[in-house]
Every structure is written in structure tokens, then in C-alpha cells.
Amino acid sequence: MPVEGPQYPVLLDLAGRPCLVVGGGSVALGKVRGLLAVDARVTVVAPDVLDEVAALDGVTVERRPYRSGDVAGHRLAITATDDPAVNHQVFLDGEAAGVWVNSADDPANCAFTLPAVVRRGPITVAVSTGGHSPALSSWLRDRLAAEVGPEYEVLLRLLAERREALRSEGTATEGLSWQEALDSGMLDLVREGRIAEARELLQACL
């Protein structure tokens, strides 16, 4: 069943942290790539593992069936199998061990769901429907990806630079007119390549 109640959105720092993927097919490949993109340490457990999965740098592959208790010691686990019994066992083991488990296309065996994501450098935009319609999540993600272009990375850099400069001067950054600055036309200037003018406008607003 899709998630009915509200979910708590969070971004996890998984760099260097152990994560388990149960399954070795094309769905697992996507999950492994997503974890590697955030520098997680990934272990894949499955009797059959695609060569493309095994060839990924930073992945430990164990070609065998999942054994109860394999989730122990991992920060989170993702199942990507077509066997509901395996998915359920991983979920139960995760609950017992305090490990968060996501089961691909099996919301009944999920302790968390994975949103559709747009990344622009440090900017992350996530869309979730609580498992009701992954297709809508992907559709909205693609629309947002078209809107949130690389110019937003430049905008973020200008804001971060100014914030750091103010903090180094001993000036509190809370309560400043950041929203006014963002509504001032800075983004249009960045899109036109007028970065120096955008920087000056930001300073004037603050």
C-alpha cells in the first residue's frame, strides 16, 4: 500500500557509510548508482548480479542468496528483487536491527521511500507522492529539471560567497533580506552572464 500518513523529508549524508543492496538486476543497478553518487560504501547481495553492477567502482559483490541478518551493520538497505518474501525478510531484519529499508516498488516493505530527484551541484530538488504514483513523481521531476538549470548553481555560489563574507566580518546572516535579493532580478542577470552585476545587486539588497 502507498504511504497514507505524512512523511518526514530528510537528506542523508551517506559518504563513507555502509549500505546494502539486495538484488543484482537492472533495478538494483540504478539503486547502486544512486548510492555511489553520494559516496556510500555499497555491498550487493544476490545470486545473480549483472556484470555492469559488479564492474562499478566501490561496490562489494556477494553472489549468494540473502541471509537473515545481512542488514546488520549497514546504515540503510534497499531491496531490488522480484521476490516479495525476500523483500519482507529484509524489511523485518531492518526493523529488528534499526536499519532503514526501502523495497523497490513494494511500499508495504518500506521504512522510507525514495523521491524523484533533480541535482544541480549542491542543489537537490526532490519530489515524492508517497508511493501513490512514481510516474507522477518522475514527470514532475522532469518539469523541474527543465526549470532549474545550471544558472541556479551560479546563483547559489553568489549567495554562499556573500553569506560567508558576512559571517567572516562578524555579521549575523539571519534576518537579512535574502528573499528580497532573490526577487530582485539576480537570476535574470546570471542567465545573461552579468555575474558582477548580480553580485553588486545582492550586496545592495543586504
Map out the domains of the chain as residue ranges: 1-114, 115-148, 151-205
- Provide the 8-state DSSP code for 72: T
Q: Give dist(CA 58, CA 36) in Å, integer.
A: 7
What does the pLDDT average to over 150-156?
96
Contact 194, 202 (CB under 8 A): no
Residue 189 pLDDT more than 70? yes
* CATH (residue range 1-114): 3.40.50.720
- Per-residue confidence band for 105, with pLDDT thresholds at 50, 70 and 90: confident
What does the pLDDT average to over 53-70?
96
For residue 190, list its beta bridge partners: none
Strand spans (E) along the chain: 18-22, 41-45, 59-62, 76-79, 100-103, 116-120, 123-127
- Per-residue confidence band for 16, with pLDDT thresholds at 50, 70 and 90: very high
Residue 49 pLDDT more than 80? yes
